[in-house]
Amino acid sequence: MSTAPLRVIVNPAASNGRGDRAARVLLRELEGQGVPCDARYTEAPGHASRLAAQAALDGVDRMVVVGGDGTIHEVAGGLLDSGADRVPTVAISPVGTGNDFYRMVSPRRGPRELPRLLREGAVKRFDVGRVRWENGERVFVNLLGVGVDVEVLRCRALYSRLPGLPQYLASFLHALARFRPQDVDIEVAGSARAAGPEHAVGSERQRIRGKTTLSVITVGPSIGGGFMINPDAEGSDGRLDLCHIGAPGVVPVLRLVPKVVRGRHAGSPLVTMRRLDRAVIRHPDGEPIWFELDGELAPEPAPELRVEVIPGAFPVLVSDDQ
């Protein structure tokens, strides 16, 4: 094991300032167990990407991220775009509002769990998604979304005192009241499933056209702090999962929400679910579409989003009993 200090990237602003408090507890715990740490604190959006890229170029073999899904999103992007010969293994101390990526990684949490994880954990390689558009590209560790999810992000500041899933639900209801469904044209390539894995069929291409309330492509099963949007998704199966919910009106969507929370919506006629390798999302008339990535609004709207999976690109330390 390397004797170099453990690189720790901290988002002190995560979860309304909890990141800074959680980092202090974690660093005391690690240093009390004889683990020297080199902590680097983010100062602005995008800074975690630069810190992660520098860690990779410095030859760091393991690092800890203290933050939520947005921080992990930046770290993964920085690592994969760094050009380093080797990507460091990442351990996660979850301090976010939703922590949906962490749900794929471990059922445990807390600063006292992480030293044990560093001693005894195993490396598991998680898939990431990559989206390209006319003026840029990004990776996402769990979610790309269009539709009402974009409005949810714009409303979440109003409910910032609530924890993960309640915050998402309150923001979703607020956003839905003012949301106007948009037309989408989605092309997917991969395995189709109509209502769970028992209905999986061979590789195929399919096109989905119409208005959307919510169209999301995920690596893992949940969004919004536990909203089980793609309950059969697995973070290391080399595939992405699509859930497209049409726009039948506010009342039918509200009736669907409890099923989506529990992951029991796959059989609804309002829902299309597909496992895929690649997808293209566009507006039929070529108008730019706003989208979100891992709970953060994209830097700009785009008329076409080209999505693909990068299998096993993100090495993460997980409990050895998973």
* Residue-level pLDDT at 113: 78
**Residue type at position 241:** D
Tell whether 111 and 140 lie within a shared domain: no
Percent of the chain with pLDDT over 70: 92
CA distance 112 to 131: 36
pLDDT bucket at 191, cuts 50 / 70 / 90: low
Through-space distance between the first and last CA atoms of the chain, rounded to whole angstroms: 22
Mean of the pLDDT values across residues 77-95? 94
**Residue type at position 301:** P
* Residue-level pLDDT at 18: 87
The answer to whether residue 131 is domain-embedded is: no
* Residue-level pLDDT at 319: 84
Find residue 139's DSSP bridge partners: 130
- Taking all residues of the chain, what is their mean pLDDT, rounded to a whole number? 90
Number of H helices, E strands in the chain: 8, 16
Quote the pTM value.
0.91
* Residue-level pLDDT at 17: 82
**Residue type at position 277:** D
Tell whether 51 and 200 lie within a shared domain: no
Tell whether 302 and 276 lie within a shared domain: yes
Among the three residues 87, 120, 153, which one is the final residue of a domain in this structure?
120
CA distance 102 to 209: 33
Higher-pLDDT residue of 81 and 156 is: 81
Residues 252-284: pLDDT tens digits? 999 999 999 999 999 999 999 999 999 999 999
* Enclosing domain of residue 276: 136-313
Tell whether 110 and 202 lie within a shared domain: no
Number of domains into which the chain is organized: 2
117: left (phi over 0), alpha (psi -120 to 50) or beta: alpha
Residues 199-225: pLDDT tens digits? 444 568 899 999 999 999 999 999 988
* Residue-level pLDDT at 195: 41
pLDDT at residue 126 above 50? Answer: yes
Tell whether 46 and 18 lie within a shared domain: yes
Tell whether 288 and 194 lie within a shared domain: yes
Tell whether 157 and 281 lie within a shared domain: yes
pLDDT at residue 288 above 80? Answer: yes
pLDDT at residue 310 above 80? Answer: yes
Site of tokens 């997808």: 279
The answer to whether residue 187 is domain-embedded is: yes
pLDDT bucket at 52, cuts 50 / 70 / 90: very high
* Residue-level pLDDT at 12: 95
79: buried, middle or exposed (CB in 10 Å: 19+, 13-18, 0-12)? Answer: buried
Q: What is the CATH number of the domain that holds 79?
A: 3.40.50.10330
pLDDT at residue 82 above 70? Answer: yes
The helix or strand, by DSSP H or E, that contains position 75, with its residue range, turns out to be helix 69-80
Tell whether 144 and 115 lie within a shared domain: no
